[in-house]
Chain A
Amino acid sequence: MTYVASRVLSSLGVLLGAFTLAFVLLQALPGDAVMIRFENPELGLTAEQIAAIRESYGADSGLLAEYWHALSGALGGDLGYSVASGAPVRVLVGEALGSTLLLAGLGFVAAVLLAGLLAFAASLSPFSWLATLLRSLPSLFISVPVFWLGIVLIQLFSFRLGWISVIRPGPVEALILPVLTLAVPISAPLAQVLLRAIDDVRAQPFVAVVRAKGASEPWLLVRNVLRNAALPAMTIAGVLLGELIGGAVVTETVFARFGIGRLTADALNAQDTPVLQAIVIIAAAVFVVVNLAVDLLAPVLDPRLRRRVQA
Chain B
Amino acid sequence: MTLELERNVPDPADETPDGLRSPIDVDPEGRTSLAATAERAPAPWRRVLPWLSVGLAFAVVALVVAWALAPGLFTAQDPYTGVPADKLAPPSAAHWFGTDPTGRDLFTRVVYGARYSLLGGTVAVGVGLVAGTALGVIAGSIGGFLDELLMRVVDVLLSIPGLLLSLSVIILLGFGTTNAAIAVGVTSVAAFARLSRSEVVRVRRTEYVEAAFGSGGRWWSVLLRHVLPNSLTAVLALAALQFGTAVLAISTLGFLGYGAPPPTPEWGLLISEGRSHLATSWWLTTLPGLVVVVVVLSANRISGWISERREGAR
A residues apposed to B, CB below 8 Å = 3, 6-7, 10, 13-15, 17-18, 20-22, 25-26, 29, 122-123, 125, 128, 131-132, 135-136, 138-140, 142-148, 151-152, 154-155, 159, 188-189, 192-193, 196, 199-200, 202-203, 211, 217, 228, 231-232, 235-239, 241-243, 245-246, 249-250, 253, 264-265, 267-269, 271, 273, 276-277, 279-280, 283-284, 287-288, 291, 294-295, 298-299, 302, 304-305, 308-309
Contacts and interface: CB of A to CB of B under 8 A. Distances in A.
B152 interface: yes
Q: How large is the interface on B (under 10, 10 to 19, 20 to 34, 35 or more residues)?
A: 35 or more
Interface stretch (B9-17, B74-82, B224-232): B9-17
Contact of B251 (A3, A6, A138, A145): A145
Nearest to B30: A132
B278 A154 contact: yes
A3 B1 CA distance: 12
B155 interface: yes
A192 B10 CA distance: 12
Given A151-B285, A246-B163, A145 B252 contact: yes
Contacts of A277: 168
A280 B8 contact: no
B9 A298 contact: yes
B168 A280 contact: yes
A108 B23 CA distance: 19
A305 B2 CA distance: 12
B64 interface: no
A247 to B, nearest CB: 8
A305 B5 contact: yes
A250 B163 contact: yes
Contact of A145 (B13, B43, B258, B268): B268
A211 B38 CA distance: 15
Contact of B161 (A125, A283, A294): A283
A155 B35 contact: no
Given A139-B297, A238-B13, A298-B9, A7 B2 contact: yes
A145 B245 CA distance: 10
A152 B285 contact: yes
Contacts of B292: 145, 148
Contact of A295 (B1, B172, B256, B296): B1
Given A155-B278, A287-B160, 16 more contacts: A14-B152, A143-B244, A143-B293, A145-B289, A151-B278, A189-B23, A217-B34, A235-B9, A239-B12, A241-B161, A245-B164, A250-B163, A271-B171, A284-B160, A288-B159, A302-B8
